[in-house]
């Protein structure tokens, strides 16, 4: 009870300061470009930390430790796939995306693709933005649901009230400051996250080595005691099942190759080439440290509580991180680390919200409305803020009233494959193949989205993950479309 009260007090203070920081950063936003992409003037370290917080918040702090706790060494394949994808994105793609965005003067992810293929720009904007807004609209609602669940588990708050609290934290600074406010609050989250993922494993290893009455006194012995599947990199699988384990884990790689709009916009917003190199170094270092720390926390949890099915096992594996921190740290320190982690998780919604609103306003509404497109700077900025507010309210209402959580989270599961896999193909071919043209882009997007929906809904996801199938088949379709469809505007 004491630790719960301490966490609640620290969380209230932390979130209040975070909201004020976001609003403070948003005070300088005066134009639509600044609202959508911070005027493409972010320092490299800021862009890198924001990209990492956006990409890894709930995954690195809840999902991956939980999977490591439940699966043992097998989860290394997932970590390897993610790390390989992130490192590839920062070394191979980030500076190219930044340079190309500057060259074509793009302020949103969709405008980046459309202006790179101007011969079909109008239809690319419509198809791309419609797909992104649709999927990310439900994704925002799912983040509200996740925030409600987290507050319910930690404090016993009614999940629906938890959703409202989550929304009240996120919406004000996102509406006011747009991308800039979101980015600079992300920086704070990323710093707290990395401190948690460094301090947690160090203190945790010391704790299990010197504490009696727990399941095991080291990570190695905990894995051995849990059974052969925990000490095997393949989960004791063989034959076809072995291939599924390895491919399924490593398949996360493909979603990082430029296809996640909320991540690629951070690349686009970097100030210059020099800052892009700094961002790369920060992003790669943060990732390596964070993933090692996340896996270690899961395995430390295994040493403290034992595997699922044992008498002291956790009932919800995804909360191994907060349970471990409460176990190994004094309540006040644990409260600070857990608060930062929780805030990082629920604030993922701000990045998704600002992305959805800018895609809708800049690529669907303003280009198709002469009245909106002719507005002055101040009125245009006001329209962007109003659209952001409306999307937030509708997404909250959807999460609040649907009651069908499986439906929401099923749609979220489409995002990594449908959006990530599809748009990774588009970005890669746009950057590296001159024969790839606008008509092929449209075919690629329509095919990738439809394939993902059909693949998952027909049960084929259980055979082989859509994360790799969407990327592989969409890449083939994209190449064929580029070769056999006539380009309406010959490129130099």
Residue 411 maps to a domain: no
User: What does pTM read for this prediction?
Assistant: 0.87
Using CA atoms, how far apart are residues 111 and 49, in angstroms rounded to an integer?
24
Q: What percent of the chain has pLDDT over 70?
A: 89
Phi, then psi, of 85 in degrees rounded to 5: -65, -45
Distance of CA 271 to CAs 106, 221, 258, 340, Å?
13, 48, 18, 28
Residue 98 maps to a domain: yes
Using CA atoms, how far apart are residues 56 and 294, in angstroms rounded to an integer?
11
pLDDT score at 143 = 74
pLDDT at 360 exceeding the cut of 50: yes
Which one of 3-17, 66-80, 149-163, 230-244 scores highest in mean pLDDT?
A: 66-80
Q: What sign results for the dihedral spanned by CA atoms 107, 265, 45, 385? A: positive
- Written as six digits, the tokens of 254 are 């493909």
- Written as six digits, the tokens of 343 are 């805030």
pLDDT at 402 exceeding the cut of 70: no
Residue 486 maps to a domain: no
Mean pLDDT estimate for the chain:
84
pLDDT at 83 exceeding the cut of 70: yes
Using CA atoms, how far apart are residues 408 and 414, in angstroms rounded to an integer?
10
How many distinct structural domains can be found in the chain? 1
Distance of CA 238 to CAs 67, 73, 232, 249, 482, Å?
20, 15, 11, 15, 39
Backbone angle region of 426, left / alpha / beta, with phi > 0 → left and psi within -120 to 50 → alpha: alpha
- Written as six digits, the tokens of 116 are 């790179």
pLDDT score at 224 = 93
Q: Decide which of 485 and 410 is more confident.
A: 485
**Pair 113, 100: CB distance under 8 Å:** no
Specify the CATH number for the domain of residue 224.
1.20.1730.10
How does DSSP classify residue 107? Answer: -
- Written as six digits, the tokens of 472 are 């592989």
Using CA atoms, how far apart are residues 308 and 304, in angstroms rounded to an integer?
12
**What is the SS3 assignment for 92?**
helix
- CA-nearest of 266, 288, 256, 260 to 44 is 266
pLDDT score at 409 = 47
Residue 421 maps to a domain: no
pLDDT at 213 exceeding the cut of 90: no
Output b/e per residue, 84-115; b: 16+ Cβ within 10 A.
Answer: ebbbebbebbbbbbbbbbeeeebbbbbbbbbb
**What is the SS3 assignment for 270?**
strand
Paired strand residues for 270: 42
DSSP states of 231-248: H-TTTT--HHHHHHHHHH
pLDDT at 266 exceeding the cut of 80: yes
Residue 418 maps to a domain: no
Chain centroid to CA 151: how far?
20
Residue 475 maps to a domain: no
* pLDDT tens-place string over residues 92-133: 999 999 999 999 998 889 999 999 999 899 899 999 998 888
Q: Decide which of 398 and 328 is more confident.
A: 328
- Written as six digits, the tokens of 82 are 């993610």
Q: Decide which of 332 and 329 is more confident.
A: 329
Summarize the confidence of residues 364-384 as an average pLDDT. 71
Residue 467 maps to a domain: no
Expressed as residue numbers, the domain containing 172 is 2-405
Going by C-beta distance under 8 Å and a sequence separation of 6 or more, which residues neighbour residue 393?
none
Paired strand residues for 42: 270
Helix (H) or strand (E) holding 482: helix 466-484
* pLDDT tens-place string over residues 8-29: 888 888 888 888 888 888 888 8
pLDDT at 58 exceeding the cut of 60: yes
**Pair 114, 124: CB distance under 8 Å:** yes
Residue 266 maps to a domain: yes
């Amino acid at each position: 009870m004491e630790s719960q009260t301490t966490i609640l007090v620290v969380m209230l203070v932390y979130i209040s300061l975070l909201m004020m920081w976001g609003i403070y950063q948003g005070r300088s936003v005066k134009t639509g470009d600044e609202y959508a992409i911070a005027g493409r003037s972010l320092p490299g370290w800021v862009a890198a930390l924001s990209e990492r917080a956006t990409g890894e918040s709930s995954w690195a702090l809840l999902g991956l430790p939980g999977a490591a706790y439940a699966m043992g060494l097998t989860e290394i394949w997932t970590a390897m796939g993610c790390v390989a994808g992130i490192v590839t994105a920062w070394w191979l793609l980030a500076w190219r995306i930044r340079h190309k965005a500057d060259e074509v003067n793009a302020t949103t992810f969709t405008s980046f693709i459309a202006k790179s293929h101007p011969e079909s720009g109008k239809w690319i904007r419509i198809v791309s933005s419609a797909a992104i807004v649709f999927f990310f609209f439900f994704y925002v609602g799912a983040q509200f649901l996740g925030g409600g669940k987290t507050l319910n588990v930690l404090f016993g708050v009614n999940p629906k009230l938890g959703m409202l609290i989550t929304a009240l934290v996120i919406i004000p600074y996102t509406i006011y400051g747009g991308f800039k406010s979101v980015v600079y609050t992300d920086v704070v989250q990323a710093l707290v996250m990395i401190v948690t993922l460094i301090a947690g494993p160090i203190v945790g290893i010391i704790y299990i080595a010197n504490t009696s009455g727990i399941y095991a006194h080291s990570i190695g012995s905990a894995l051995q005691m849990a059974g052969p599947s925990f000490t095997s990199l393949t989960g004791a699988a063989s034959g076809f099942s072995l291939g599924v384990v390895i491919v399924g884990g490593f398949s996360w790689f493909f979603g990082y190759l430029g296809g996640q709009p909320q991540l690629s916009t951070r690349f686009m917003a970097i100030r210059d080439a020099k800052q892009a190199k700094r961002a790369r170094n920060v992003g790669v270092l943060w990732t390596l440290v964070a993933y090692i720390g996340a896996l270690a926390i899961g395995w430390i949890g295994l040493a403290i509580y034992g595997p699922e099915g044992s008498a002291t096992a956790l009932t919800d594996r995804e909360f191994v991180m907060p349970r471990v921190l409460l176990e190994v740290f004094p309540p006040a320190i644990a409260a600070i680390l857990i608060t930062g982690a929780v805030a990082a998780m629920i604030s993922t919604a701000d990045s998704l919200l600002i992305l959805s609103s800018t895609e809708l306003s800049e690529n669907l509404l303003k280009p198709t409305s002469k009245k909106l497109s002719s507005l002055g700077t101040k009125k245009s900025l006001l329209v962007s803020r109003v659209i952001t507010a409306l999307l937030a309210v509708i997404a909250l209402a959807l999460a609040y009233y649907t009651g069908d959580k499986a439906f929401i989270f099923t749609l979220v599961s489409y995002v990594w494959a449908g959006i990530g896999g599809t748009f990774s193909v588009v970005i890669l071919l746009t950057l590296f193949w001159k024969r790839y043209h606008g008509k092929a882009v449209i075919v690629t997007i329509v095919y990738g989205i439809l394939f993902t929906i059909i693949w998952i809904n027909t049960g084929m996801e259980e055979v082989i993950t859509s994360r790799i199938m969407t990327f592989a088949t969409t890449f083939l379709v994209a190449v064929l479309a580029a070769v056999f469809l006539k380009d309406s505007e010959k490129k130099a």
